[in-house]
Amino acid sequence: MKKYLILPLIALAFSSCATQELYLNITRPAPVTIAPEIKSVGIIDRSKPTDRTKTLDALDKVLSLEGADLDSIGTLEAIKGVTEELEANDRFHEVKLLSKLEFQASSLGRLPAPLTWDQVEGICRENGTQALFALEMYDTDTRVENAGGALAELSAGNIRGALHLGPMETLVRTGWRIYSPANRAILDEFIVAESIVFGGRGLDPVAAVSGIIHRKDAVKEVSRKAGNVYAMRLIPYRLRVNREYYVKGTSNFKTAKRLARLGRWDEAGELWNLETDNPKRKVAGRAHYNMAIISEINGDLDNAVTWAQTAYASFRIKKGLHYVRILENRRHEQEVLRYQEER
């Protein structure tokens, strides 16, 4: 699995008079968790339409430089996109494109019924894979907006007509499932949508957009990108979050505020720690809450939870309860992250 060096980027922003906001980057688990023992995966295509479902949009047929082949080309690119990302991800030892297996979609524009587990187990057994990535759906939907204005006059033999500008949007939708036969679980079911917008000229709206010579290449590029995007669901990601900490109560809080602005968080934490024994319960509670903040900044989520719990339970700092829930959720996510990164 790709790994990222996560730096605790911290920024400040003003909030209420008693508190101030800070921003920091945290690492979230990948949206999809695959058991660490799964090292070999296969990729199959179930999106090929049957004769009954070959109801391709008439406009797509006219506009596509490759006609009805555009979806087939896009499908191959979407699979290439997933394959590239999975091969670049050291999470797997082997990624197999099972192109000899032929499936046909029972419907277009939506996900079909899942494969049966007998089918999944048979495919994995015959191909030596432990899980299947299935492209369950591939669909392009094209819409043209007729600008309607005569921009110029064209002459083609005896034919004269108005030159139209026709903005066109092509929406590429890919639907994926991940099958795990070991526990008979569908690990993920997700649709990725990407759009392309064009403009063109012609004697009528259809002729205008059919003259866009780069449409096929663009659909290929967007389809591959959709495959890349889907495979990235197996990779942890960074998220910027905000926190509030107290800046008023005693002179130590004011000094700590200035130190925090300078990025000297450990020194600020030392001053907050001194105030945890303040005889004024409100001040001591705020200090406990701030100690939870500095603990999270330093990556010590266990201590952060303890400090926040005390701030709420012993000193009635209302923000402490909400913060406890945030920290406990982060602690659970850290466990998921560790599991996802097992080899």
Query: What confidence tens digit (pLDDT) does each residue in 205-243 have?
Result: 555 545 455 667 888 889 999 999 999 999 999 999 999
Find the helix or strand (DSSP H, E) in which 201 lies.
strand 201-202
From CA 288, how far away is CA 269, in angstroms rounded?
10
From CA 54, how far away is CA 70, in angstroms rounded?
13
Residue 186 within a domain: yes
**How many domains, in total, are found in the chain?**
2
**234, 264, 286 — which closes off a domain?**
234
Residue 33 within a domain: no
pLDDT(277) > 60: yes
Same domain, 217 and 276: no
From CA 343, how far away is CA 337, in angstroms rounded?
12
Interval 105-156: pLDDT, tens: 655 667 899 999 999 999 999 999 999 999 999 988 766 655 554 433 333 3
Cα distances (angstroms) measured from residue 15 to each of 36, 180, 317: 43, 47, 17
Same domain, 214 and 300: no
Q: What is the band of 48 on the pLDDT scale with cuts at 50, 70, 90?
A: confident
Q: Is 12 exposed, middle or buried (0-12, 13-18, 19+ CB in 10 A)?
A: middle
Q: Are strands 19-28 and 10-14 parallel, antiparallel or unpaired?
A: antiparallel
Same domain, 149 and 111: yes
Residue 23 within a domain: no
Same domain, 117 and 190: yes
Same domain, 170 and 298: no
> For every residue of 162-199, which 3-state class applies, written as one string?
ECEECCEEEEEEEEEEEEECCCCEEEEEEEEEEEEEEC
Residue 307 within a domain: yes
Q: What is the band of 56 on the pLDDT scale with cuts at 50, 70, 90?
A: very low
Same domain, 307 and 229: no
- More reliable by pLDDT, 47 or 187: 187
* Cβ contact 141:194 at 8 Å: no
Sheet holding 131-144, edge to edge: 94-97, 40-45, 131-144, 168-180, 185-198
Mind giving me the DSSP string for 241-259?
EEEEEE--SSHHHHHHHHH
Same domain, 71 and 110: yes
From CA 247, how far away is CA 256, in angstroms rounded?
7
Same domain, 128 and 201: yes
From CA 217, how far away is CA 214, in angstroms rounded?
5
* Cβ contact 169:142 at 8 Å: yes
Confidence (pTM): 0.78
> Phi and psi for 46 in degrees, rounded to 5?
-110, 10
Same domain, 255 and 229: no
pLDDT(68) > 60: no
Range of the structural domain that residue 163 is part of? 40-234
Across the chain, what does the average pLDDT equal?
A: 83
Residue 160 within a domain: yes
Residue 188 within a domain: yes
Compute the Cα dihedral for 102, 103, 109, 115 and give only its sign: negative
Contacts of 137 by beta carbon, 8 Å cutoff, 6+ apart:
46, 47, 105, 108, 109, 110, 111, 112, 173, 174, 175, 191
Residue 164 within a domain: yes
Kindly report the CATH number assigned to the domain that includes residue 213. Answer: 3.30.160.150
> Phi and psi for 310 in degrees, rounded to 5?
-65, -40
pLDDT of residue 172: 87
Same domain, 130 and 161: yes
Task: Count CB atoms within 10 A of the CB of residue 232.
Answer: 18
